[in-house]
């Protein structure tokens, strides 16, 4: 009888401890389940942080500036023009378009392209220079203006060859030099990839060395005339004739020929 009482007390104590442990575990499980059902768990915390991050004000970058301008559609631009110095005076572009119904300017803050048709190489260069002044030296000008071929040249089957005839012992250009070279100059201005080839001839009379000097001087006079007409020096080639006149019409022998290649 004495030994049974402590044993009963110990068993009761253990049962009570186990009951409270399970009760606390059950309450904790219910608490966690309630939080999970109401979106207060770890997943919600991550989603909450993500939502907060996504709701932050986005960083807005300025759109790149570009534009197009023409007689037909005026001036149209998009993007940030705050750093484009010439944009404030865009109305002045109308001056550039005078004389060209199909001229168009397109580009951005760094590069501008010119397109359309012009009547001569001189006009193309002039319009390119005007554009450079307007847009400034920091802007690259891509001059794609096209020189129209005159109708008279369309009908021609061969490139023209000009012959200028000189007086005996003279290097002065003949009076009809401008008329004689007119077609050649038109070709050279219409076809910027072509060049003029100049050859000077002389009659066989007199000292050969002096005659050669006369031929060179006459050829130089013709070259200067082409340059004065707007043909670049690098498009003019001075070429010594392959043959020397040995007889026949002496007047025809004292000439300078200009061909196109």
Any idea what the CATH number is for the domain that residue 136 is in? 3.30.1340
Residue 94 falls inside a structural domain = yes
Question: What is the rounded CA–CA span in Å between residue 79 and residue 69?
Answer: 15
Q: Are residues 136 and 157 in the same domain?
A: no
Q: How far is CA 33 from CA 25, 28, 36, in A?
A: 12, 8, 5
**Residue 256: per-residue pLDDT:** 92
Domain range enclosing 229: 152-260
Residue 115 falls inside a structural domain = yes
Q: What are phi and psi of 125, to 5 degrees?
A: -65, -40
Query: What's the predicted TM-score (pTM) here?
Result: 0.45
* Residue-by-residue pLDDT tens, the chain, 261 positions: 444 445 545 555 555 667 777 777 777 777 777 666 665 555 555 555 554 445 555 555 568 999 999 988 889 999 998 889 898 888 888 888 887 888 999 999 999 999 998 887 788 889 999 999 999 999 999 999 988 765 555 445 567 889 999 988 899 999 999 999 999 998 888 888 889 999 988 877 778 888 888 889 999 999 999 999 999 999 999 988 755 555 567 778 889 999 998
**Residue 202: per-residue pLDDT:** 80
**Residue 121: per-residue pLDDT:** 78
109 and 65 in contact (C-beta within 8 Å)? yes
Domains identified in the chain, total number: 3
**Residue 40: per-residue pLDDT:** 59
For residue 246, what is the domain's CATH number?
Answer: 3.30.1330.60
Q: Are residues 198 and 237 in the same domain?
A: yes
**Residue 2: per-residue pLDDT:** 44
Domain termination residue (choose one: 147, 172, 193): 147
Question: What is the rounded CA–CA span in Å between residue 53 and residue 12?
Answer: 56
Q: At what angle do helices 177-190 and 208-228 cross, to 10 degrees?
A: 60
Residues 6+ apart with CB under 8 A from 166: 172, 174, 214, 218, 254, 255, 256
127 and 114 in contact (C-beta within 8 Å)? yes
**Residue 90: per-residue pLDDT:** 87
Find the helix or strand (DSSP H, E) in which 117 lies.
Answer: strand 117-118
Q: Would you call 115 exposed, middle or buried from its count of C-beta atoms within 10 A (0-12, 13-18, 19+)?
A: middle
Q: Are residues 249 and 222 in the same domain?
A: yes
**Residue 160: per-residue pLDDT:** 83
Q: Are residues 174 and 224 in the same domain?
A: yes
**Residue 21: per-residue pLDDT:** 74
């Amino acid at each position: 009888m004495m030994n049974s009482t402590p044993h009963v007390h110990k068993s009761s104590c253990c049962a009570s401890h186990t009951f409270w442990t399970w009760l606390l575990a059950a309450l904790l499980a219910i608490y966690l389940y309630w939080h999970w059902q109401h979106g207060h768990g770890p997943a919600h915390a991550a989603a909450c942080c993500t939502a907060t991050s996504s709701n932050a004000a986005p960083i807005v970058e300025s759109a790149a500036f570009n534009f197009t301008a023409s007689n037909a559609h005026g001036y149209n631009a998009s993007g940030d023009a705050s750093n484009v110095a010439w944009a404030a005076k865009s109305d002045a572009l109308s001056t550039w378009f005078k004389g060209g119904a199909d001229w168009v300017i397109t580009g951005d803050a760094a590069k501008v392209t010119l397109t359309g048709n012009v009547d001569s190489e001189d006009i193309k260069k002039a319009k390119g220079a005007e554009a450079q002044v307007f847009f400034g030296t920091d802007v690259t000008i891509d001059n794609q203006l096209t020189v129209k071929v005159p109708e008279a040249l369309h009908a021609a089957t061969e490139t023209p060859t000009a012959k200028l005839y000189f007086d005996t012992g003279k290097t002065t250009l003949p009076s009809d030099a401008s008329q004689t070279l007119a077609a050649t100059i038109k070709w050279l201005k219409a076809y910027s990839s072509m060049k003029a080839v100049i050859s000077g001839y002389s009659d066989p009379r007199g000292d050969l060395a002096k005659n050669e000097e006369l031929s060179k001087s006459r050829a130089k006079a013709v070259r200067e005339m082409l340059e004065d007409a707007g043909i670049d020096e690098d498009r003019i080639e001075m070429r010594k004739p392959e043959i020397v006149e040995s007889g026949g019409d002496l007047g025809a022998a004292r000439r300078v020929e200009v061909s196109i290649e």
